[in-house]
A and B are shown apart, each in its own frame.
Chain A
Amino acid sequence: MRFDTKIRFDFVNNRKKFFIGSIALTLVGIISLLLMSMNFGVDFKAGTNMDIAVGKQLSQQEANQIFESVGISSATTTIGGAGDRVSARFNDVLAQNQITSIQNAFKEKYGDDVSTEVNVVTPDMAKEMGINSIYAVLIASVAMMLYVIIRFDWRSAVAANVAILYDAFVVIAIFSIFRLEVDLTFIAAVLTTIGYSINDKIVILDRIRENLRFGQYKNNEQLASLVNQSVWQTMARNIYTVLAVVIIAVALLVLGSESIRLFSLAMLIGLISGAYSSICITSPLWYVLKSKEKRKSAVKPTTSAS
């Protein structure tokens, strides 16, 4: 269609830098996962989690004293919110009467404004949730891959899926490296990343498909140029869209409640990685796959779309 789009940066020919950079990050992530695993919350690691809002300022020491006063010393506590909130992790499954005595101890000291959130997960349940989540991610990506194969072709499906799994992994890797806690909503965030990231990839692949219908290419330079143009033609949309979602994710991160803060952070990482990988991974990777294709003639009919 328009073959005079200004190419401000050649993504295809700089692909090696992106590929190496992304592979490096992936390796760092794998090493981090192997060495430190993830900082699993109670959802994936049996135990008890208590989130206590006391309505007044308190120090970690004060909180620990209260736990010890009711005979529980194995708590890992952190002070959050505006210094008026305690998060405590116990590796044991606390009984209801233990939980009640903790709540009462806090109420005694800080008044009836104390409000708590408690999660208790038994070991087999934790394991089941973890396995369940991995299945969910794999099955979801297979479903999306099949759809892309049907609507586009296998090259697009591979190029998109490699990048999507990379995005999901980046979120996991960063959470592992920075020791951020992983709970059940983290899975929702990773899956949203996948769902959103595929949007980006489809927009670019769709433009490539459209440009292929209008323009014919004779050699790999022209193919590279076609991919670059497709990327730049959709650049405005990609940036605007990512900004729109990033605004929401940042708002939730900064202003949202404690319980969805990490969820928003995971989503934010995923969104940014998704935008990057659409442009810097999917498009060049598609080019690499396509340029290896043996052309029967100079004119290549492409899959037509309705």
Chain B
Amino acid sequence: MLKKRIVAFLTIVIVLFGVVAWTSPTIVKDVKLGLDLKGGFEVLYEAEPLEGGEAVTKESLKETARNLETRIDKLGVEEPEITTEGSNRIRVKLAGAENEEEIKEKLGKPVNLTFRGPDGKIELDGSDFKQNGAGVGYDNLGNPFVTIELNNAKKFEEITTRLIGQSLSIYLDEDLLSSPGVNYAIPGGSAQITGDYTVEEAKSLRDTINLGALPLKLNEKYTQSVGAKLGMDSLERTITAGAIGTVIILIALIALFRIPGVVASITLITYTWLLLVVFNLMNATLTLPGIAAFALGIGMAVDANIIMYERIKEEIRSGKSLMSSLKAGSKNSMRTIMDANITSILSMIVLYYIGQGAVRGFALMMIFSILLSIVTNIFFSRFLIMLIIKSNMFTKPSYYGVKEDEIRAL
């Protein structure tokens, strides 16, 4: 019966380490590296209308971001991260991109909307459309169509008269978006574009036309670019530093706390592995401050262990049996650890919502590490140590870092 516990303990540890050793290479390889580790560059753009006029709308900002994404895709850069921030900003992160100058030049250009005749001749451009004049309507059957309004009704009537029976293709930059046919001459300066659109497609076409009518100019507000070699160098050195620090801590833990120290080492390794797994599952990007947070998370996880074991040691010293020391120790330390961790999480959540760029990555990593630390270093750790104590094989107080003469009789 008692032997069973130690067998259970060993089985869990062996299986766990097997899984860790088996999956680690793949996991480490799958970690998405940020541009500060892999090389690449980041630009924060602030958008403003090209020709003064109206303020930047949310739709036009999103449309611009979408447009940047298509341009980047065409340049063959993998996994671009493009996010809109606030009311007029777009952040572009391109990890692993090399031809920075060329990409930046292409991204900085305002969009160019054109309507072209069958011969490719440009009949209308963005400036011919009323600002925010495009909309989406629905016919009797609920099929969407796009409405447009033009500045110059005469010009449009002339074009549509000339192109009856032919098509008037819509281009954004050099991309063909849609190629509606002209059925009859259209007077009055407004028209409907019908086609086999889904609601999404119609809305997207509307936004594109509105953006074309009022293209945004993108100003670079902040740029960061890292050479690939410099990034790799940072990565290697930071990981080495973190690993050395961790090994020293593991040795110190075992020296100070003996059996619980061994358990702490097991849970710490599990914790590190789990953190990477979760990190990959979230598809998060590892940055340099993220690694620092990772290392610090290990420190805080160690803290959770130390608080608990110090408490258990105290209980043993007060003369309690091992089992009741464990129970009292982990119960009493739980409150402390929880209060401490929750306050830390609170500060990191604030940081995440207020911070920008690298600071956000740091905060996110910290939040994950604290949550996982609670699971592994409190619950898992307690479970393992319970198995050991119940096995009755390690009963001497010295196994727990307590000297016999420190123990008081009850």
- The residues of A with any CB-CB pair to B shorter than 8 Å are 2, 51, 53, 96-97, 100, 113-122, 124-125, 129, 132, 135-136, 139-141, 143-144, 147-148, 151, 184-185, 187-188, 191-192, 194-196, 198-199, 202-203, 206-207, 210, 233-234, 236-237, 240-241, 243-245, 247-252, 254-260, 263-264, 267, 305-306
Contact = CB atoms under 8 A, between A and B. Distances in A.
B343 A191 contact: no
Interface stretch (B143-151, B244-252, B271-279): B244-252
Nearest to A146: B346
Interface string B227-252: 11110011101101110111011001
Interface string B327-354: 0000010011001111110111111001
Interface stretch (B7-15, B63-71, B112-120, B296-304): B296-304
Contacts of B302: 241, 244-245
A187 B296 CA distance: 15
30 contacts: A51-B230, A100-B101, A115-B228, A115-B233, A116-B226, A117-B230, A118-B225, A120-B220, A122-B220, A136-B355, A140-B351, A185-B288, A187-B359, A188-B358, A194-B347, A199-B343, A202-B343, A206-B339, A237-B307, A244-B252, A244-B299, A244-B303, A245-B296, A245-B302, A248-B246, A248-B296, A252-B292, A255-B240, A257-B238, A259-B36
- Give the most central of B252, B339, B356: most A CB within 10 Å: B339
A252 B294 CA distance: 12
Nearest to A125: B221
A252 to B, nearest CB: 5
B160 to A, nearest CB: 43
B82 interface: no
Given A116-B225, A148-B343, A248-B249, A96 B358 contact: no
B238 to A, nearest CB: 5
Interface residues of B, number: 76
10 closest pairs, A vs B, by CB? A115-B227, A251-B245, A257-B234, A115-B229, A255-B241, A245-B299, A248-B245, A199-B340, A115-B230, A140-B350
A42 B310 CA distance: 45
A298 B282 CA distance: 56
A206 B335 contact: yes
B378 interface: no
Interface in B297-326: 298-300, 302-303, 306-307, 310, 314, 318
B233 A257 contact: yes
B198 interface: no
Interface of B: 36, 39, 41, 44, 100-101, 104-105, 219-230, 233-235, 237-238, 240-242, 244-246, 248-249, 252, 256, 288-289, 291-293, 295-296, 298-300, 302-303, 306-307, 310, 314, 318, 332, 335-336, 339-344, 346-351, 354-359, 362-363, 366
Nearest to B243: A251
B221 to A, nearest CB: 5
B374 to A, nearest CB: 13
A202 B335 CA distance: 10
Nearest to A186: B359
A197 to B, nearest CB: 10
A260 B361 CA distance: 14
Contacts of B39: 115
B145 to A, nearest CB: 42
Contact of A198 (B252, B307, B347, B349): B347
A132 B245 contact: no
Contacts of A247: 245, 248-249, 252, 299
A251 B229 contact: no
B371 to A, nearest CB: 14
- Give the most central of A114, A135, A141, A247: most B CB within 10 Å: A247
Chain A interface SS verdict (over half): helix
B346 A255 contact: no
Contact of A199 (B238, B244, B303): B303
Contacts of A234: 310
A251 B249 CA distance: 11
B351 A245 contact: no
B224 A195 contact: no
Given A136-B351, A240-B306, A256 B226 contact: no
Contact of A53 (B41, B100, B227, B241): B227
Contacts of A192: 293, 296, 362, 366
Contacts of A249: 296, 299
A191 B359 CA distance: 10
Given A116-B227, A244-B249, A185 B307 contact: no
A260 B238 contact: yes
B346 A203 contact: no
Contact of B356 (A51, A132, A203, A256): A132
B171 to A, nearest CB: 28
A191 B347 CA distance: 7
B222 A121 contact: yes
A257 B229 CA distance: 12
Given A140-B350, A144-B346, A251-B245, 8 more contacts: A115-B229, A135-B354, A143-B350, A192-B362, A196-B344, A244-B302, A248-B295, A252-B292
A255 B246 CA distance: 13
B101 A248 contact: no
A236 B310 contact: yes
Given A116-B227, A256-B237, A260-B292, A198 B340 contact: yes
Contacts of B293: 188, 192
Contacts of B245: 247-248, 250-252
A244 B257 CA distance: 14
Contact of B234 (A236, A254, A259): A259
Given A132-B356, A203-B336, A240-B310, A119 B223 contact: yes
A234 B314 CA distance: 10
Contact of A147 (B336, B346, B358): B346
Contacts of A132: 354-356
A203 B334 CA distance: 11
